[in-house]
Amino acid sequence: MSPSDALVSQRERLDTTGVLHLDEIMGGGLPRGSLLLVMGLPGSGKTTLASQIAFTAARAGKRVVVLTALSESTGKLIEHLRAFTFFDQDLIGGPVQFLSLQGVLSQGLQATSKVILDEARRVRADIILLDGFRGMRSVDTEPQAAREFLYELGTALSTLQTTTIVTSETDPRDPTFFPETTTADFILGLHYTLLGVRQVRAIEVVKARTSAPMPGLHAMVLSQDGASIFPQLEERIALELLGGEAAMQGGSRETPEVAIPDPAVARATFDLPELDAMLAGGLPRATCTLLAGSLGTGKTLLALNFALAGIRASERVVFLGFRESRAQLALAAKAFDIGPDIARALRSTSWGIASLPSSTEPGHSGSLSTASRSWSGASCGAAIRSGWRIIWRPCCWQCARVGSRR
């Protein structure tokens, strides 16, 4: 039975990865017995993400073996992981076993494979995590050896119902790794780049053999809690509209039939007759509009008019900003005709205000992504379904550019 055959028969038994939103972007979590390849350049977070999955599983009663190859010694790895909240010293030596492959690697990949399988059988491992595969490729001079090693290991472990996670210090799109990547059931590509002066992490599901993943690049944040993923908003919306549970079970990701207002006919007004007339009745509903202008030209005031028009029409309004509190927004409108109405509306529960952290997140896309979980009691799918007005005030132009792509 090939790893993917095994997957199909086990689809109902999905394990949660324990990484925020990773199950969602993978299309429902990590099926037991599958082979997951985590690829990324040094420092991209492969070991952290893979270990978080392993420790989550161990905490849930699974048996895990962590194998170190040539990238990090076992002692160093444990010290590295100790800084994370998912790490649990009490699990080590029990549900989580660490084993260094350094000694056996000199005997070749076949001998290494045998040691891994023997260990997996001995402890009846649910998860085998092999950290640092790239270095192992050079152990054998035969170019096919690394591919065969992964295929045979993945197949044998799959028949034992053991999930295999392999990390490799590689660009996820490096064609020289294609032979190995064909053997994997799932491939996660971790990206780590500079955006201006900021470091930005992202993750993509390069391949998911038996489920429908969320396509594209999703923001990833590393913190002492490990990795957290913030999927692209439009992909989350599609998933939520589809019905979270059905989608998690690998349901179709075709655009669902929902009551999204037709932008050709439905308009959201500013309650400013001249402007609404210029816009042929207002902004088309369920669309995104960028309000651009230099300092002091009235962007916030216009946005407040738009919010107020929504409140007057008994719609839900969410204001996502980096600076203003309710009191500050009321102050901004105070000198104008709409001042008293804005002050009243801001006291209404129909108007949600969420302040987003601008400096605590490591990247703009991370800040932006927190927007979707910061609205009080709201989800983006619900917002679109019920025609909410969302006013998002980015912290800077760069952030607006990232947002407009989402």
Which partner in Mg ion, ligand ATP, none is near 62 (CB below 5 to 8 A by kind)? Answer: none
Q: How far is the CB of 2 from Mg ion (least distance, A)?
A: 28
- Of the pair 202, 308, the CB lying nearest Mg ion is at 202
Which partner in Mg ion, ligand ATP, none is near 369 (CB below 5 to 8 A by kind)? Answer: none
- Of the pair 48, 164, the CB lying nearest ligand ATP is at 48
- Of the pair 48, 305, the CB lying nearest ligand ATP is at 48
- Of the pair 34, 47, the CB lying nearest Mg ion is at 47
Q: Which x/- pattern, by CB under 6 A, does the window 74-113 give for ligand ATP?
A: ---------x------------------------------
Which partner in ligand ATP, Mg ion, none is near 269 (CB below 5 to 8 A by kind)? Answer: none
- Of the pair 47, 300, the CB lying nearest Mg ion is at 47
Residues 110-169 that bind ligand ATP (CB under 6 A): 169
Structure tokens at 405: 């792509």
Tell me which stretch binds ligand ATP (CB under 6 A): 155-163, 173-181, 217-225, 233-241: 217-225
Number of residues that bind ligand ATP (CB under 6 A): 14
Q: What DSSP letter does each residue of 264-307 carry, written as one string?
A: TT-EE--S-HHHHHHTTSSEETT--------TTSSHHHHHHHHH
- Provide the CA 257 distance to its chain's centre, in angstroms: 25
Number of residues that bind Mg ion (CB under 5 A): 1
**Member of 8, 13, 42, 142 binding ligand ATP (CB under 6 A):** 42
- Of the pair 28, 189, the CB lying nearest ligand ATP is at 189
Residue type, 397: W
Q: How far is the CB of 229 from Mg ion (least distance, A)?
A: 18
Q: What DSSP letter does each residue of 168-179 carry, written as one string?
A: EES-TT-GGGHH
**Member of 39, 101, 222, 320 binding ligand ATP (CB under 6 A):** 222
Structure tokens at 217: 């690049």
Cβ atoms within 10 A of the Cβ of 345, count?
22
Residues 38-77 that bind Mg ion (CB under 5 A): 47
**Member of 32, 46, 191, 364 binding ligand ATP (CB under 6 A):** 46
Tell me which stretch binds ligand ATP (CB under 6 A): 102-110, 218-226, 276-284, 290-298: 218-226
**CA distance to 105, 136, 185, per residue, from 171 (Å):** 24, 16, 18
d(CA 83, CA 214) in angstroms, rounded, equals 30
Burial of 314 (0-12, 13-18, 19+ CB in 10 A): exposed
d(CA 278, CA 396) in angstroms, rounded, equals 28
Cβ atoms within 10 A of the Cβ of 41, count?
15
Structure tokens at 29: 């979590």
Q: How far is the CB of 222 from ligand ATP (least distance, A)?
A: 4
- Of the pair 72, 152, the CB lying nearest Mg ion is at 72
Pairing state between β 96-100 and 127-131? unpaired
Compute, in degrees rounded to 10, the torsion defined by CA atoms 221, 225, 231, 236.
-160
Residue 45 is a binding residue for ligand ATP (CB under 6 A)? yes
Which partner in ligand ATP, Mg ion, none is near 34 (CB below 5 to 8 A by kind)? Answer: none
Q: How far is the CB of 71 from ligand ATP (least distance, A)?
A: 5
Cα within 13 Å of Cα(350), Cβ side: 18
3-state secondary structure of 218: strand
Which partner in ligand ATP, Mg ion, none is near 134 (CB below 5 to 8 A by kind)? Answer: none
End-to-end Cα, the chain, rounded Å: 41
Which partner in ligand ATP, Mg ion, none is near 372 (CB below 5 to 8 A by kind)? Answer: none
Residue type, 108: G
Report the helix count and the strand count for the chain, using DSSP H and E.
18, 16
- Which residues on neighbouring strands pair with residue 222, listed in sequence order? 227
- Of the pair 41, 266, the CB lying nearest ligand ATP is at 41
Q: How far is the CB of 71 from Mg ion (least distance, A)?
A: 5
d(CA 319, CA 304) in angstroms, rounded, equals 9
| Binding interface with ligand ATP (CB under 6 A) | 40, 42-48, 71, 83, 169, 222-224
List residues binding Mg ion (CB under 5 A): 47
